[in-house]
Amino acid sequence: MKLLENIRVLDLTNVLSGPFCTLHLALLGAEVIKIENPNDGDLARKLGCLPELNRKLMGTSFLAQNANKKSVTINLKTDKGREIFKKLVKTADIVVENFRPGVMERLGLSYEELEKINPKLIYCAISGFGQTGPDAQKPAYDQIIQGLSGVMDINGDETLNPLRCGFPVCDTVGGLNAAFAIMGALYYRERTGEGQFIDVALLDSIMPLMGWVAANLLIGHQQPSLLGNDNFTAAPSGTFKTKDGYINIAANKQEQWESVADLLGVPELKDDPRFRERDNRKKNRRALTPLLESRLKEKTTEEWVGILNENGVPSGAILSLEKALRSEQIKHRESLSTITEEDVGELPLFNLTAKFAQTPGKIQTAPPKLSADTEKYLKESGYSGAEIKKFKKEGII
């Protein structure tokens, strides 16, 4: 049995935050039906580094988060399209959308309207700023939220700031938050039989991830420091130069710091008043780092990683993305699966990363071609073959 077996999701989302949410539901076994516009579908179908796939409406950005899903095209701006969608809502458990607030209401498809059709419906709306508030109607992309949340302000160092994260962190965290919320709402419905509306904002979602930094400011009245690759909670904890590159060392505990000093052959630093205690080491990290690096440069990163880890000091190399994806640990954990799509070829895609003992989730079908499943679901909803042909001709599907 799959964890979300017999749960039907109508997915009206585009690009990243919403599709990332529904991907997790699909990997857990839910039947996720993407509702796309008949012309070119999800915008992500055109986004990616391979123009030939973009032209096929199978861009790499789309492929990354739409495995295990179905594709149905409906023009929701038409009366007949809305009728078709409402028929699907009768059989659905969840609706997810990431339009700007008010769009679904203008279409006559708000939660209040859909709840009348299906009182047990769970409806999740994902937006940049949420459904209410002074910024609710503003357009928002990941980078805009990174700037408005303070993420870019605390990233980088004196030479490079503000600095965005190298991937769309706000979109992906917003999607995870939505998936988490939907699972909670499903549990509540199991106990009460009641559906509900969920309002997820990307801005809300990213803020708690900065909890430690925010707590230092809100409670300790300490402004964040631009530390680059250093860890603000401890020292030595960050990135250091070695003979052939760099190493991450996280000596966050006192005994780990003392081991570092011994292993690097500088035991006298343990008694240096600048470095003896954690808080003093943090204040004097700029003096400490070159003293450690002078010894770290005597051996390679690989040598130091072995020495430090064997002695209980967390450390690691800094891998390229390609090496990280191909690492033995990632292979062992089966974080990636390869599935074949006939027009694209082999696709290495991420599996569900939570490992369920009884109900494991994994990729079973490739991301769908646009409208691949429209006919199936319209027939299931009671429409005849002749009606379906007429809908296609009229641009309704």
Count CB-CB contacts under 10 A for residue 304.
Answer: 24
Do both 182 and 97 map to the same domain? yes
pTM of the model: 0.94
R_g (Cα) of the chain, nearest Å: 25
Q: Is 73 a domain residue?
A: yes
Phi–psi pair at 196, nearest 5 degrees = -170, 170
The residue among 211, 142, 212 whose CA lies nearest residue 170 is 142
Do both 310 and 336 map to the same domain? no
Q: Is 226 a domain residue?
A: no
Dig out the tokens for 362 from the structure: 């994994």
Do both 300 and 173 map to the same domain? no
Res 311: pLDDT: 97
Do both 147 and 17 map to the same domain? yes
Do both 40 and 166 map to the same domain? yes
Do both 98 and 136 map to the same domain? yes
Do both 143 and 111 map to the same domain? yes
- Rounded to an integer, what distance in angstroms lies between the CA atom of residue 349 and that of residue 191? 35
Which are the catalytic amino acids?
171
Q: Is 300 a domain residue?
A: yes
Q: Is 232 a domain residue?
A: no
Q: Please, are residues 21 and 96 in contact by the beta-carbon 8 Å criterion? A: yes
Domain that holds residue 195: 8-208+331-393
Q: Is 224 a domain residue?
A: no
Do both 274 and 172 map to the same domain? no
Q: Looking at the 3D structure of the chain, how many domains does it have?
A: 2
Do both 193 and 300 map to the same domain? no
- Rounded to an integer, what distance in angstroms lies between the CA atom of residue 152 and that of residue 136? 21
Handedness of CA 70, 73, 77, 81 (dihedral sign): negative
Q: What is the DSSP letter of 210?
A: G
What CATH number is given to the structural domain containing 29? 3.40.50.10540
- Rounded to an integer, what distance in angstroms lies between the CA atom of residue 13 and that of residue 126? 9
Q: Please, are residues 33 and 72 in contact by the beta-carbon 8 Å criterion? A: yes
- Last residue in a domain, options 318, 339, 365: 318
What CATH number is given to the structural domain containing 265? 3.30.1540.10
- Last residue in a domain, options 295, 318, 341: 318
Q: Is 379 a domain residue?
A: yes
H/E stretch holding 349 reads: strand 345-350
Res 1: pLDDT: 86
Residues of the chain with pLDDT under 50: none
Do both 337 and 311 map to the same domain? no
Res 357: pLDDT: 94
Q: Is 223 a domain residue?
A: no
Q: Please, are residues 128 and 140 in contact by the beta-carbon 8 Å criterion? A: yes
Q: Is 213 a domain residue?
A: no
Dig out the tokens for 54 from the structure: 């973009």
Do both 75 and 173 map to the same domain? yes
Do both 346 and 200 map to the same domain? yes
- Last residue in a domain, options 297, 318, 339: 318
User: Is 183 buried (19+), middle (13-18) or exposed (0-12) by CB count in 10 A?
Assistant: middle
Res 348: pLDDT: 96
